[in-house]
Chain A
Amino acid sequence: EAGVAQSPRYKIIEKRQSVAFWCNPISGHATLYWYQQILGQGPKLLIQFQNNGVVDDSQLPKDRFSAERLKGVDSTLKIQPAKLEDSAVYLCASSLEAGGANEQFFGPGTRLTVL
Chain B
Amino acid sequence: GQQLNQSPQSMFIQEGEDVSMNCTSSSIFNTWLWYKQEPGEGPVLLIALYKAGELTSNGRLTAQFGITRKDSFLNISASIPSDVGIYFCAGRGGSEKLVFGKGTKLTVNP
Could you list which residues of chain A lie within 8 angstroms of chain B, going by C-beta atoms? 4, 9, 40-45, 48, 56, 91, 93, 98-99, 101, 103-109
Number of B residues with CB within 8 Å of any CB on chain A: 22
Closest chain A residue to B88, Cβ basis: A42
A43, B96: Cβ atoms closer than 8 Å:
no
Taking a contact as CB atoms under 8 Å apart, the answer to whether A41 and B98 are in contact is: no
| Nearest-CB residue, chain B, relative to A105 | B45
Residue pair A98, B103 in contact (C-beta under 8 Å): no
Give the distance in Å from the alpha carbon of A45 to the alpha carbon of B43 in the complex: 14
Query: Footprint of A on B, CB under 8 Å?
Result: 4, 6, 33, 40-45, 48, 50, 88, 90, 92, 95-98, 100-103
Among B41, B50, B92, B100, the residue within 8 A (CB) of A42 is: B100
What are the residues of chain B within 8 A of A42 when measuring CB–CB?
A: 4, 6, 88, 90, 100-103
Chain B residues with CB below 8 A from A98, complex form: 96
**Cβ contacts A to B, 7 pairs, < 8 Å:** A41-B102, A43-B88, A101-B48, A106-B43, A106-B44, A108-B40, A109-B41
